[in-house]
Amino acid sequence: MNYTAFRTYQVVDLKGKVHAEEIGQMEYRAPDQKKFAVTSEKGSALVRRLVLNALIASEIETTAGKQHHDSAISPTNYTLDLLGEQQVGPYHCFVAQAIPKRSDKYLFEGKLWIDTEDYAVVRIEGHPAKKLSFWIQRADFVRQYQKIGDFWLPQRDVTFVDVRLYGKKLLTIDHHDYSVNGSVFTNGSLSIERTASF
């Protein structure tokens, strides 16, 4: 599978003020290549450099490197305990507790919501299994997925971060306007336009 998507990254304080924003296009080429091109940016250059650019670089590195396999939701990395079933929007899901098998910043501890039909991850809530850095005292996140054609892809990430000397902030990432294998999707629906040639 190959896809492109636009992403909007924002660092927001608890009153809703945007401190930094970066918008760009992420391109993924199977099996392990990602590229990000910035289309607009505003707000604090320091926050963009230390937080947003570092986050994007880490994701690209993780996709291409050994960490990609080391972070997969698999029996090698996690024990899953079934907690029950729950509805998440239009999706009926199994709910499971994810317990990491080692302390690793690429793994998380929390809950998974898994679609009962596709067995795909619909939602994740948790925190890193290992402290990310001296500066980040806490990082709790929620990731929501959406079904785009036959594939489940990220829709929105919200991370509550407590940064030493900087305070509590929200980091949000919105994933939108996907193009998957040449078909264009807007807000999860197939657009009339197709980028594939006939």
- Dump pLDDT digits (tens) for 148-187: 988 999 999 999 988 777 788 999 999 999 999 888 887 6
Single-letter code of the amino acid located at 40:
S
> Above 70 in pLDDT, residue 95?
yes
75 inside domain: no
106 inside domain: no
171 inside domain: yes
pLDDT value of residue 65? 59
The 3-state DSSP class for residue 23 equals strand
Please tell me the total count of domains within the chain. Answer: 1
178 inside domain: yes
9 inside domain: yes
- Across 11-20, 57-66, 127-136, the highest mean pLDDT is recorded for 11-20
- Which range has the worst mean pLDDT, 29-38, 74-83, 119-128, 170-179? 29-38
pTM for the complete prediction? 0.84
66 inside domain: yes
48: containing domain: 1-70+154-198
Nearest-angstrom CA–CA distance, 145 and 150: 13
Question: Which has the higher per-residue pLDDT, 196 or 129?
Answer: 129
How would residue 102 be classed by pLDDT, with cut points 50, 70 and 90? very high
Secondary structure (H, E, C), 79-143: EEEEEEEEEECCEEEEEEEEEECCCCCCCEEEEEEEECCCCCEEEEEEEECCCCCCCEEEEEEEE
79 inside domain: no
